[in-house]
Chain A
Amino acid sequence: MRKTDVASITLMAWMLSASGLLYLFHAPDLKLFLTIALVGFFIIVYVIHPTYSKPRSIRNVHLMATAGAVLFGLVIILRILELVEYWGL
């Protein structure tokens, strides 16, 4: 099995497990789920990333990672705003 196949399967398994666990713990929150899913995604990208070359598929994944980083930052900012509102600062 190729590295990319393993990466795809691992990411899907990670996201399905995360959504299943969040549902079991009665916390099906999209923002929390996105954070967990993106952490898994970044780890997988780090692991499959080649050191001495930059294949086209990895360049596509880099674009996806950039979009993911923006989304991740947005979720974190929203969470901080929620906390600020909660503490009444």
Chain B
Amino acid sequence: MVAKRCKHCRIGSYLLIGFAALLLCAVIFSDPQYMQNPLLMMSATGFIGGVFLFALSGDESVDARLASRLSLQGISALGGIIRDLGGSGTAVFLPPDGDGGKVMQFIPTQPACRPLLGDGGGFSSHNGNTGTLSHPLAASLLEDLKRDDALVLPSEYGPLKSAIQEVCEDLLLVADRVDVRREGGTVIVNLHNYLLFAGCASLREISPEFCMLSPCSICSLIACMLAEGLACEVSLDGVTLDDKAGTRRVEIRYALTGAPG
């Protein structure tokens, strides 16, 4: 879908610039007083509009369906492995530990599995729970956005909300409109006309539990942004998909622990 949109923008911009060039030639060759000719203004309109459309059309992008599938590659397998290793409950996104630190993802394990873990070997402890500590799936994407697109994460909720909207609407173009609201210790993000809806729906068909154990793509990215921006622990509280009348709306709820008011 995005690929088609990009293609249409490019074709539109070429048509407008071509139309402007044709009008310019027609005016110059037919009217000696061409600076006062109204067609010259039409030509300038076409040229400016065409260049603007070309500038906004961006790079070549992949088809939405393909992007949706690619973003979920290996997620179900990973979720299965985590579950088999004793993963249970909800993954917790931990804020960076000091300057230069990165957001980490803690996945708690079932108490029954703890004796099998021996003396810790690769497992960590957090708030009295034992589990695995790893980099979240969207950690590399967040680093790329910071490096390539000069993304800045504010430390207050209001500006951070705008940053989340910018990332989803302008940078990644995964949703037409993003609403973010806070209700006490919960942040609710609504993605309208979510581009990767098909993949998200297919993953939830396999097992909704995987979303909680190891959040993927956008859920993970927004959680990382919240954890790093607000310097608090973030966990995915629930994901609701709504495709009534083709709206492709996704509601993601995050629980914040220790966030500033």
Contact = CB atoms under 8 A, between A and B. Distances in A.
5 contacts: A8-B56, A16-B45, A30-B44, A57-B56, A63-B55
For chain A, which range describes its interface: under 10, 10 to 19, 20 to 34, or 35 or more residues?
20 to 34
Q: Taking chain B's interface residues, is the majority helix, strand, or loop, or is none over half, making it mixed?
A: helix
A61 B53 CA distance: 9
Contacts of A11: 48-49, 52
Nearest to B48: A37
Interface stretch (B70-78, B84-92, B162-170, B248-256): B162-170
Contacts of A37: 44-45, 48
Contacts of A54: 149-150
Interface string B13-55: 0000000000000000000000111101110110011011111
Interface string B165-177: 0110111010010
Nearest to A38: B48
B44 A57 contact: no
Nearest to A16: B45
Contact of B36 (A4, A19, A28): A28
A61 B170 CA distance: 13
Contacts of A3: 169-170
A2 B171 contact: no
Contacts of B171: 50, 53, 55
Contacts of A55: 58, 149, 170-171
Nearest to B39: A28
A3 B177 CA distance: 9
A33 B48 contact: no
Contact of B38 (A19, A56, A60): A19
B57 interface: yes
Interface of A: 1-4, 7-8, 11-12, 15-16, 18-19, 22-23, 28-30, 33-34, 37, 41, 50-58, 60-61, 63-64
Nearest to A12: B49
A64 B52 contact: yes
**Listed residue (A15, A41, A55, A60) with the most chain B CB atoms within 10 angstroms of its CB:** A55
A61 B56 contact: yes
Given A2-B173, A28-B37, A30-B40, A19 B163 contact: no
B149 A15 contact: no
Given A15-B49, A19-B38, A53 B167 contact: yes
A18 to B, nearest CB: 8
Contacts of A50: 166, 170-171
Nearest to A44: B52
B82 interface: no
B38 A61 contact: no
Interface string B137-164: 0000000010001111110000100110
B179 interface: no
Interface string B182-204: 00000000000000000000000
Contacts of B150: 53-54
Contact of A52 (B56, B153, B173, B176): B153
